[in-house]
Structure 1
Amino acid sequence: MSAVMKNIADHGAASAEPAIAAEGKRRIRVGADARPAMRKSPLRPLLLGVLPPVLGIAFLALVWQIVSLKTTSFPSPLMTLEEAIRVFSDPFYQKGPNDQGIGWNILSSLKRVGMGFGLAALVGIPLGFMIGRFKFLAGMFNPIVSLLKPVSPLAWLPIGLLVFKAANPAAIWAIFICSIWPMIINTAVGVQRVPQDYMNVARVLNLSEWKIVTRILFPSVLPYMLTGVRLAIGTAWLVIVAAEMLTGGVGIGFWVWDEWNNLNVPHIIIAIVVIGVVGLLLEQALVALARAFTYEDVRN
């Protein structure tokens, strides 16, 4: 009798083990399914996207406030904000050739940058294609580029003043000479990195040089070329501010220097923020252009 009862007990324990194991696996599976559901909270992407920038700006404002408390001549964030509201309430006033609103100064700087940058693109991108395409031209121009590229753009400003006899074309010349090198170098590198198989196919098909450039080189080089354009526009915007400080006239750089002469520190801080915002917008516009014309992932 005891043997029979023992067999029944063993049979029950054996039949219960699969049920217990199945229940444990179900609970584990439910717990594993619940964790991703918790991670996919709709607020998480919003917090990760908004909270870090807000904290960064708050930290900057806190440091700014501490510095303003330690230095009486340095304006507080609230004082600068009030002055910025007043400045941007009428950004396009005109009271003389050297007394104009900040809007006119920004437009004047952008006009100079556009002219110098455009001329650099017209010269630098075709020259980069030729340097990358022909070894003879690469050997001819590479020493010139290597020699002149490290020269500070402002070192070219006296040459522009000497040649053009005026401040405005001299500033445009400085923009041109600092913008052309990234375009030449990146375009040439892009041409040199085109797979040789593409060129072999073009040779077999007996394609003309124009078709090689438009059908093979240009689509392959476009990401490199746009990278050079992005680097050039950032450098151009940096240089125009310094060039306008030296040459005078209407422009955001001259506005900063003029406000320093008037000891108007809040306006200097406003100009610094404006310069940063405009530079950021220019770069983001070119990033959007790069994403629209290439299949590659373009990052800052």
Structure 2
Amino acid sequence: MSEASITSGITEDSRSLSLRLKNLGNYLTVRVVPALVVIGILVAIWQITCSRPDSNLPSATTVFEETRYLIENPFYDNGGTDVGMGWQLLASLKRVAIGYTLAVIAGVALGILVGQSVWAMRGLDPLFQVLRTVPPLAWLPLSLAGFQDSQPSALFVIFITSIWPIIINTSVGVRNIPADYRNVARVVRLNGWQYFYKIMLPAAAPYIFSGLRIGIGLSWLAIIAAEMLVGGVGIGFFIWDAWNSSRISDIILALIYVGLVGYALDRLVSLAGYFVTRGTGQ
């Protein structure tokens, strides 16, 4: 290899590295820095307003001091429900994973049915519109009466809460498949299965993932509220137990974790949708 080619390769690598660093700097400037500035301002306001002697809420520094053990030991286990925040979150995430997965399977299937069939839309859509307005916790007493167990009841609440946006968005996506796509499918004589995975799913995917993003957020909201009532290990019951014990700092820390996990779940579904739709629907 000649010296000129080596020099050219080094120069090209340097340019590539410089471009990557520039893109990283732009990302940090546009996305990260503004968020950190806003968070810093909010924390400062929180610290100032809650440091007064007559404040009913702890300041930011007080919360950190009182919850330091929980932050540094997220996976301690003293038996029963006395476990770290990591175990609490994992227990809630496990319930969400099961209930949400069932909602995705049933929701996409029903959405395709409603989107494909005019009769199904006329018969089921009014029912869906009525049921989706029922608050999540309103289903809990009924599910407890039916299952006679707190765990399947919590899963049912997640399922029934998150399924509606999945059904509605999927059906809208299927109904909005361009007529040209359907005509092409007829011309090339695609059978039902080929039409499903070559035409229908790719065309409706942006709508489906919009429903999935709404659904995962509703799932996380529902399990937090349900766990406050059904008990057991879970971040929702942790918050309720902390309230009963007047551990306000623990509640604030749990709320921060709940928000971060909810944001992570939304980003995860959004990222999956971006790769599946190649960015056309996100």
* Category of TM-score, reference length = shorter chain: 0.7 to 0.9
Which residue does 1:15 correspond to in 2?
none
Q: TM-score, normalised by structure 1?
A: 0.82
Higher-Rg member (1/2): 1
- Corresponding position of 1:101: 84
Runs of 4 or more above 3 Å deviation: 42-51, 70-73, 296-299
- Any unmatched runs of 5+ in structure 2? 1-21
**In 1, Cα distance between equivalents of 2:156 and 2:204:** 27
Asked if 1:121 corresponds to 2:85, the answer is no
Work out the CA distance in 2 between the residues paired with 1:190 and 1:141. 17
What are the superposed Cα offsets for residues 5-26 of structure 1, whole Å, 9 maximum, x if unpaired? xxxxxxxxxxxxxxxxxxxxxx
Q: Where does residue 232 of structure 1 map in the other structure?
A: 215
**CA distance 1:197–1:44, shift in 2 (3 Å):** closer
3-state SS, counterpart of residue 158 of structure 1: helix
Match runs of 1:81-160 below 5 Å: 81-160=64-143
Matches within 5 A, 1:158-237: 158-237=141-220
Q: Does 1:246 align with 2:229?
A: yes
- The equivalent residue for 2:35 is 53
Q: 1:45 to 1:131 in 2, by over 3 A?
A: closer
State which of 58, 61, 72 in structure 2 corresponds to 1:78.
61
The answer to whether the Cα contact below 8 Å between 1:287 and 1:298 also exists between their aligned partners in 2 is no
1:217 Cα deviation after fit: 0.3
| Equivalent residue in structure 1 for 2:44, among 52, 62, 77 | 62
Task: Indicate the RMSD between aligned Cα atoms, in angstroms.
Answer: 2.0
Q: 1:56 to 1:197 in 2, by over 3 A?
A: same
Separation of aligned partners in 2, 1:237 and 1:114: 10
Is the contact made by 2:75 and 2:84 (CA closer than 8 Å) also made in structure 1? yes
**1:136-193 per-position Cα deviation (integer Å, ceiling 9, x unaligned):** 1111111111111111111111111011001111111000001110110000000000
Q: TM-score, normalized by length of structure 2? A: 0.87
Q: What's the CA shift for 1:204?
A: 3.1
Amino acid at match of 2:47: Q
Shifted more, 102-111 versus 201-210: the winner is 201-210
Cα distance, 1:211 vs structure 2: 1.4
Q: Please, which runs of 5 or more residues in structure 1 have no aligned partner?
A: 1-39
Percent identity (aligned): 41
Secondary structure of the residue aligned to 1:93 is coil
